[in-house]
A and B are shown apart, each in its own frame.
Chain A
């Protein structure tokens, strides 16, 4: 039995962290890889509830303005949260979904009022009062001839964009 001094131990300071034994390293690597695999699998599984195809009805719809519609009075197509306004020979569509929390705004003398948290919008959709963070968006419109139009609720256009009849 030899008692030769171990030269390797004297080289470093005793305060240096000990090197991790190979087996511990492999064990930890196994645990971490298991955790990573489970996490990855979890996110993969969570992909399922995130719908790829939305079941909401088509955003595009056809609308016919009544010939008797007074100028500057909003027309509200049934079943759509949109207001269509005809002023002279220019027509535009504004969304009636409040930009605050999604209630349906009502046309009033001054513009549009939201019943849920008191946001008020001007006739051009800009916010006058309340918590709404954005103006009501204007929607893309196409003239089909006569009083017929196509409105696309899914496409916003800059406010002030009108269709000339």
Chain B
């Protein structure tokens, strides 16, 4: 035993004493080693609390007051992520019992619904969170558009966001088949045939023999000619593995780029519009100078820099974290409340011989289904592609800078959006009313060639009308932003009206009914 250890031993008592002392200190040391920088009580520890934590370090250490305002984002991005967390957890729970094989799948969902403890509740939450995620992602897209937050340097993140929208819809759609009930079976049959619908054009051109992209798409989706065991296992694989992986990857890129692009978009005069932070706001930049001298002679009270962090920022811990936690809790609360009162539907087991009448896709595809009822290719493939390309091009065509970061870019923008909404709604409602009342080309001249039906139908006319209106606004206001505002608003109007018609006003044989209560029994 050398001298040093002997000395230390004498100082600290026996090894047993040290052992008990260490044992008593375990909780304190455990806490210190987990949260290495201590309680977030000062500016320094509030910062290290965020960037020293692997789960929190995607956040900025300080957030701008503009970004923290409720009306800047309404927390929609965080709400979408919250839905995704809830979906992952409830989805994994459902996987304990779900068996992806035809008929057995249906029985396992029945088990989950009636036998498994809390099974029905968890399935309901999964179902409602899935629906909420679609709504929230769409609203989030609307928020980013109407605050012009897609502009430089955030153009590419808008595209990533569109990828996230598509993957979210894909997740929802693949999940739709898994219960293997009538609703699921026929929605997926229709979906798979929409994937096959480029044949409508290749057939009309007589080139299907050599170039059958539609058939290939259906074959990859279903692994067979009809919806069966192969299709079910593929949809299951996409739903629980492939699409979630893509979603998580895109989400990581999306968040990373928000940070790298300088946080949320804000107007150039944000600091000015915010004014001073309220006096009772705590904590602010606690180590900021409490006095400034330059203007002391003429300004009474506080000068703008006092008590504010650099560039009007506040520590993310606690300001941002509390906001995020609140949105997270609200989202969960909403899905739980919906799950308590409204059961996820489950029809009778899938029957390939008798289609559900009407066979409706999930609600967010019913606008497309309305278009599809005129032409499978244009409604299911052509117009969605045009819309996606149009939306994707928006940040590259509108390269103005005025009005970024504030809602509608000001009062003029609000009027423009109201006008566009009026025109967009009128166009879609008038066109649909005409079609419902008088029918379309096929009923008037049954011999019309298919290519004419494919390319001249209510969907394409509506798309053309919206494009024309957008170009008109572009010229009238001499602004690319005006064109973008008109186009996006028209798109929203078309989507909403067609979805409502498809959901509420279409009954058996896709006929028009004022309310589902008028549907004939069958």
A148 at the interface (CB under 8 A from B): no
A160 at the interface (CB under 8 A from B): no
Contact across chains for A115 and B446 when beta carbons are under 8 A apart: no
Q: Write out the residue numbers on chain A whose beta carbons fall within 8 Å of the beta carbon of B508.
A: 115
B204 at the interface (CB under 8 A from A): yes
Q: Write out the residue numbers on chain B whose beta carbons fall within 8 Å of the beta carbon of A143.
A: none
Contact across chains for A100 and B359 when beta carbons are under 8 A apart: no
Q: Mark B186-208, 1 if CB is under 8 A from A, else 0.
A: 10011011100100100110000
Q: Within the complex, which residue of B189, B224, B509 is in contact with A101, where a contact is CB–CB below 8 Å?
A: B189
Minimum CB–CB distance from B168 to chain A (whole Å) comes to: 22
B230 at the interface (CB under 8 A from A): yes
Chain A: interface residue count, which band? 20 to 34
A144 at the interface (CB under 8 A from B): no
A83 at the interface (CB under 8 A from B): no
Minimum CB–CB distance from A41 to chain B (whole Å) comes to: 18
A127 at the interface (CB under 8 A from B): yes
Contact across chains for B224 and A130 when beta carbons are under 8 A apart: no
B358 at the interface (CB under 8 A from A): yes
Residue of A101, A114, A115 with highest tally of chain B CB at under 10 A:
A101
Contact across chains for A56 and B226 when beta carbons are under 8 A apart: yes
Q: Write out the residue numbers on chain B whose beta carbons fall within 8 Å of the beta carbon of A70.
A: none
Question: Which B residue's beta carbon lies closest to that of A79?
Answer: B353
Q: Within the complex, which residue of A78, A104, A131 is in contact with B373, where a contact is CB–CB below 8 Å?
A: A131
Contact across chains for B220 and A55 when beta carbons are under 8 A apart: no
B112 at the interface (CB under 8 A from A): no
Q: Bound state CA distance, A50 and B510, in angstroms? A: 33
Minimum CB–CB distance from A3 to chain B (whole Å) comes to: 49
Contact across chains for B355 and A100 when beta carbons are under 8 A apart: no
Interface of B is mostly: helix
Q: Write out the residue numbers on chain A whose beta carbons fall within 8 Å of the beta carbon of B194.
A: 101
Minimum CB–CB distance from B96 to chain A (whole Å) comes to: 27
Question: Which B residue's beta carbon lies closest to that of A53?
Answer: B224
Contact across chains for B450 and A133 when beta carbons are under 8 A apart: yes
Contact across chains for B223 and A101 when beta carbons are under 8 A apart: no
Given known pairs A50-B216, A101-B372, A102-B189, the reply for A55 and B355 (CB within 8 Å) is: no
In residues 369-384 of chain B, which contact A (Cβ within 8 Å)? Answer: 369, 372-376
Q: Within the complex, which residue of B229, B230, B443, B510 is in contact with A117, where a contact is CB–CB below 8 Å?
A: B510
Q: Write out the residue numbers on chain B whose beta carbons fall within 8 Å of the beta carbon of A134.
A: 203, 450
Contact across chains for B376 and A103 when beta carbons are under 8 A apart: no
Question: Which A residue's beta carbon lies closest to that of B508?
Answer: A115
Taking Cβ atoms with an 8 Å cutoff, the residues of B that contact A are: 186, 189-190, 192-194, 197, 200, 203-204, 216, 219-220, 223-226, 228-230, 234, 353-359, 369, 372-376, 439, 442-443, 446, 450, 453-454, 508-511
Taking Cβ atoms with an 8 Å cutoff, the residues of A that contact B are: 49-51, 54-56, 78-79, 81, 100-104, 113-118, 126-131, 133-134
Closest 3 CB pairs of A and B: A115-B357, A117-B373, A101-B193
Q: A50-B216, A100-B193, A115-B509 given. 13 additional CB < 8 A pairs? A: A49-B220, A101-B372, A103-B355, A115-B357, A115-B359, A116-B359, A118-B509, A118-B510, A129-B439, A131-B376, A131-B442, A131-B453, A134-B203
13 A/B residue pairs, CB under 8 Å, sorted by A:
A55-B224, A55-B230, A100-B376, A101-B194, A102-B226, A103-B355, A115-B359, A115-B510, A116-B358, A117-B510, A131-B442, A133-B450, A133-B453
